[in-house]
Amino acid sequence: MQDPSGPGYLSWLTGNNFSAEASDDPIVVVVDDRVDDGSVTPETDEFYVTGDDSLASRILFSVVPPGSSAPGPEGPGGHGHINASIVGGYNALTGTAFEDTGGFNYGLGVSPYGRIANVRIFAPGFDVGTGDATMVDDYYQRGARISTNSWGAGVSGSYHTGAQLYDSLTRDARGSVTGNQELLFIFANGNAGPSLGTVGSPATAKNVLSVGASETSNPDASNGDGCGKTRVTATTRSSLPVRSTPGPLEPATRHRGSQATRHSSPTSATTPKQSSSRPGPPVRPASRSTPQASPGMACPETRMKPSRISR
Which of 19-33, 252-266, 294-308: highest mean pLDDT?
19-33
Q: Give the helix ranges, DSSP H, for 178-288.
A: 251-254
Sheet of strand 59-63, all strands in order from the earlier edge strand to the far edge? 59-63, 116-120, 27-32, 144-149, 184-188, 209-211
Residue 216: which pLDDT band, with cuts at 50, 70 and 90?
Answer: low
- Topology, domain 1-249: Rossmann fold (3.40.50)
Question: CA-to-CA distance for 166 and 162, rounded, in angstroms?
Answer: 6
Residue 9: pLDDT over 80: yes
Which uninterrupted H or E stretch holds 144? Answer: strand 144-149
What distance lies between CA 66 and its chain's CA centroid? 21
Mean pLDDT of the chain: 77
Among 30-39, 143-152, 153-162, 285-294, the range scoring the smallest mean pLDDT is 285-294
Question: CA-to-CA distance for 295 and 311, rounded, in angstroms?
Answer: 15
Which of 52-66, 249-263, 275-289: highest mean pLDDT?
52-66
Q: Where are the domains of the chain?
A: 1-249
> Between the CA of residue 98 and those of 26, 50, 275, what are the distances in Å?
28, 15, 27
At a CB cut-off of 8 Å and minimum separation 6, what does 67 contact?
129, 130, 131, 134
Question: What is the average pLDDT across 15-40?
Answer: 94
Instruction: Output the CA torsion 244→247→252→253 (10° steps).
Output: 30
Give per-residue pLDDT as tens, 220-248: 555 555 556 665 665 655 566 555 665 65
Give per-residue pLDDT as tens, 97-110: 999 888 999 899 99
Question: CA-to-CA distance for 301 and 282, rounded, in angstroms?
Answer: 36
At a CB cut-off of 8 Å and minimum separation 6, what does 8 contact?
none
Question: CA-to-CA distance for 67 and 65, rounded, in angstroms?
Answer: 6
Three-state DSSP class for residue 84: helix
Residue 135: which pLDDT band, with cuts at 50, 70 and 90?
Answer: very high
- What pLDDT is attached to residue 232? 62
Question: CA-to-CA distance for 139 and 181, rounded, in angstroms?
Answer: 12
Residue 266: which pLDDT band, with cuts at 50, 70 and 90?
Answer: very low
